[in-house]
Each structure stands twice: as C-alpha cells, then as structure tokens.
Amino acid sequence: MSLTERHSATLPAHGGRPFSWRFTTPLFLGSALNPINSSLIATALLPIAHDLGIQIGQTAALVAALYLASSVTQPTAGKAAEVFGPRRVFISGIVMVALGGVFGGFATSLWMLIVSRVVIGLGTSCAYPTAMLLIQRRAKDAGLAKPPGGVLGGLMIAGIATASLGLPLGGVLVNALTWRAVFFVNVPVAVIAFVAAVAWIEPDPKRAERMSARDIASKLDLPGIVGFAGAMLTLLIFLFDLPAVHWWILVLSLAIWAVLVLWELRARTPFIDVRLLASNPGLANTYLRFGLTQLCVYVVLYGITQWIESVRGFNESAAGLLLLPMTLISGLIITPLSRRGLVRGPVVAAAATCLIGSVGVLLLSSTVWMGVVVVLTLVFGLAIGFSTAGNQISLTQHAPADQLGTASGLLRTFGYVGSIGASAVTGLVFHHSVTDQGVHQIGWIMTAVSVVLVALTLADRTLRPARK
C-alpha cells in the first residue's frame, strides 16, 4: 500500500473518531513546549549567573535567543510544512527540542546555553503551525467543512495560554533540582510527543515529483526568510539595548524591513504575502490585535512578577503561583468560545479586559492587599482567553487555506513581537530598581496600549455583522 493510500485509509482505524485523544495528544504536547519554555527560563536566570560566574544582565541573552528563534521559525515552519508536509516538520522539530534540552542541561558556558535556547526555540516553533495544518487535513479527510472548535480550543490552550505555567514550573524545578532541570525537562516531553506522533499521526502523502534545490529555495522563499530574520534580529537588538538608544541599529532594521517588503512584492511564492495583508484587513487586524494583547499580558508576566518578588518580598515559586490563575481562567473560557466560533464578542471583550486590567495596575503599591494582584491576574487571564479564541477563529476565517501554516506561524510571531516589546518596557522602566513608581509607569504604558487596542477593535469593519 502506498503512503497516499495509507493516508486515506487511516480514519476508519480510529473507530470513526478522527480527532481522538491519540491524534491530539502529540499535537497538544508539542505545541505547549514553546510558550512554556518562553517563561520557564525566568526563574533560572539568577542561579545560572551565580553558577557560571557571569553578570545577571548577560543572562538576558537566553531570553532573547528563544524569542528571535521563535519569531522567525514560527512562519518558516508553517511555510516548510506547506512544502514538505506537516508531519515531517513536526517530528523534525520534536527531535530538535530533545537535542536542545540535552545540550543545555550539560552546558558549561553561557554560549552553550544560548545555542541550546536557539535550538529549543527552532524545535518548539515547528509544533503549532504544523498542528494547524494536520488538524485541517484531518478535518478535510473526515468530510468536515472546518475543524471542530473544541480541537482548535485545545490547541489554543496548549500553544498560547500555557505561557504562565512556565513560572511556577520553573520555580519548582529550580528549587527541587537545579537550573539544569529547566533544560532537561524538555527531553522526556519531546520523547513522548515523538513516539505518539510516529505511532498515531498518519504519514504525509508522498510527493508526485522530486524537487531540486532551486525549486525548494524558491518555494520556501529563502531570501525572504533571511531578510525577515535580519529585520527581526536588528529590531530585537535595539529593543533589548534600551534605555541606551542606538539609532543606527533602528535605522538599519527599518532599511531591512523596507528591502524585505520590496522583495516580497516581487517573489513568486512570498514568505510573507504583503499583498495579501494589504488586501485583507481582517487578517492584518487579527495580527495587530493579538500582538497588542500579548504585549499587555507579558508585561504582567515580566514586570508584575519582578515587582511581586522585589517590592512584596515573595520568592520565585510564590510569585509564579500568584500568576497561575491567568492560565486557569483562560483555559476555562477558550474551549467553549472556540466551539461557538465567535470572533467579534471575544476580541471586544479582550480589548476591554486589557484596559480594565491595565488601569487596575495603577492601584498596586507596597501596602495594597495581595488579593488585588490575584484579581488582576484573573482579569488578564480573561484577556488571554478572549484574545486567543477570537483571534484564532478570525485567522481561520481570513487566511487562505493553502497558506494556513505560514499564517498561523505569523500569528505567533506577532505574539512574540508583543512579548519582546513587553520585555523592553519592563527593562526600561525597571532599569535601576523595581519600585511602586515604576509599576505605575508600566500601568500607564499598558493603559495607552489598551486604548489603542480598543480603538483598533471597534474600528475594524470586518468584525461588524453583514447587513441583510
């Protein structure tokens, strides 16, 4: 039996349940690795600095390394999955995660850890966009017009809403074992996801013809990928150098972005379809809404966490547990919203809760009742849930079916741009010390961002119901 025939004959083997737990388990596990790793490292930075004898400021490179790798690889993996097949790319990514975890666990220098974080970022970024394509393919094979909302909801929880789990998990691992555990923990999860994917996900259909290296480079748009990586790298360097302002780096980044846009307008199979974004305001606004929401959420994850530890005197584990309600409440609302396929209501609610939570940050002080912090985390948990569900459904509605992998990766990239901006804001405000005044400055910045988010959401005509 050929691979194509085996692919078409897979569904009956699952007892008529195309989206059984066997199919979804490796996809959810793999997709959760990236958001968890993005915050998992936070509690290990100080022990790493002490153990390796380096300054704490140098460990920021470990955060930046995963951000850069993830922001570039998310759409790249989606593009590669469209060309080579999503299962192949998914499994390749899982193997990279295991290798990165082992290399980082045995690392003896900062550079080895940076390489490990890059490899982990590359590997974990393959999961979410390929999972979207695999789910879409399974729905098509099952004769469904679109994937079930519950499955998409589960993927959203795993791929986006689990970011705050990294803080309490990292605190437990570092306190119980050592900082090396935050790297080694990737290995068993990757092994489980690999075995499950090989056993329970049908192989990609065999390609009708072999592609030359030139054809592959053209289909992937390698110049576009390199240009995107250069533009993101220079932007990242500029943001992480704040409050020191190196204008030449920003000018270089803008120049690379301009050249990238010109190239993509002429590319046969563009990595980033600029024309599509310009002609599809619904898709462009989806990316902007998600990025702005993630900026506010990650300011809470980074800035408020530092304030809880420095001003209120909580340790890393306690600070992580205080933020745990964000994940719990977001997970509770994502699935029911996804099943109903709603867009306008959830994204409006996401903008409103971001604004309410941002104003609430202004109430924080060294004497405020800690219950206020818990309430704020619940509010931002609602923002995560509403934003994730609404914008993901909006993505599936506006993105072309043959570009869903790249489009899904770009959604995550905009989320990482938001988190990078949050890290820059936190570093700028708390550059010298963490104070109540600083957290109020962060609150005002978040409020301004939320006002823009509300205005963008309310002005989006693609969200308005069609006139009869």
pLDDT of residue 465: 59
- Could you read off the pLDDT of 375-414 as tens digits, one per residue? 888 898 899 889 988 888 888 888 887 777 778 888 888 8
The average pLDDT across 107-111 equals 89
Q: Kindly tell me if the per-residue pLDDT of 324 is higher than 80.
A: no
Domain boundary among 209, 240, 266: 209
User: Are residues 333 and 193 part of one domain?
Assistant: no
User: Are residues 204 and 61 part of one domain?
Assistant: yes
Query: In angstroms, rounded to a whole number, what is the distance separating the alpha carbons of residues 218 and 264?
Result: 12
Domain boundary among 176, 209, 242: 209
User: Are residues 289 and 201 part of one domain?
Assistant: no
Q: Of 250, 254, 440, 279, whose CA–CA distance to 364 is shortest? A: 440
Query: In this structure, are residues 133 and 205 in contact, taking their beta carbons and an 8 Å threshold?
Result: no
* DSSP state for residue 182 in the 8-state scheme: H
Q: Kindly tell me if the per-residue pLDDT of 349 is higher than 90.
A: yes
The DSSP line for 370-429 is: HHHHHHHHHHHHHHHHHHHHHHHHHHHHHS-GGGHHHHHHHHHHHHHHHHHHHHHHHHHH
Q: Looking at residue 117, which CATH number applies to its domain?
A: 1.20.1250.20
The average pLDDT across 67-89 equals 85
**What dihedral do alpha carbons 327, 328, 331, 336 form, nearest 10°?**
-150
Residue 339 vs residues 150, 151, 152, 453: alpha-carbon distances, Å: 5, 8, 8, 25
Q: Model's pTM, two decimal places?
A: 0.78
Longest CA–CA span in the chain (Å) reads 70
Q: Which are the contacts of 74, defined by CB distance < 8 A and separation ≥ 6?
A: 125, 128, 129, 408, 409, 410, 412, 413, 416
> Looking at the 3D structure of the chain, how many domains does it have?
2
Rounded to the nearest angstrom, the gap between the alpha carbon of residue 465 and the centroid of all alpha carbons in its chain is 29
* Inside any domain, residue 403: yes
* Inside any domain, residue 250: no
Query: In angstroms, rounded to a whole number, what is the distance separating the alpha carbons of residues 257 and 393?
Result: 28
Query: In angstroms, rounded to a whole number, what is the distance separating the alpha carbons of residues 90 and 104?
Result: 21
- Could you read off the pLDDT of 3-27 as tens digits, one per residue? 333 444 444 444 457 788 888 889 9
| Burial group, residue 171, by CB count within 10 angstroms (0-12, 13-18, 19+) | buried
The average pLDDT across 187-197 equals 93
* Domain coverage including residue 38: 13-209
* Inside any domain, residue 272: no
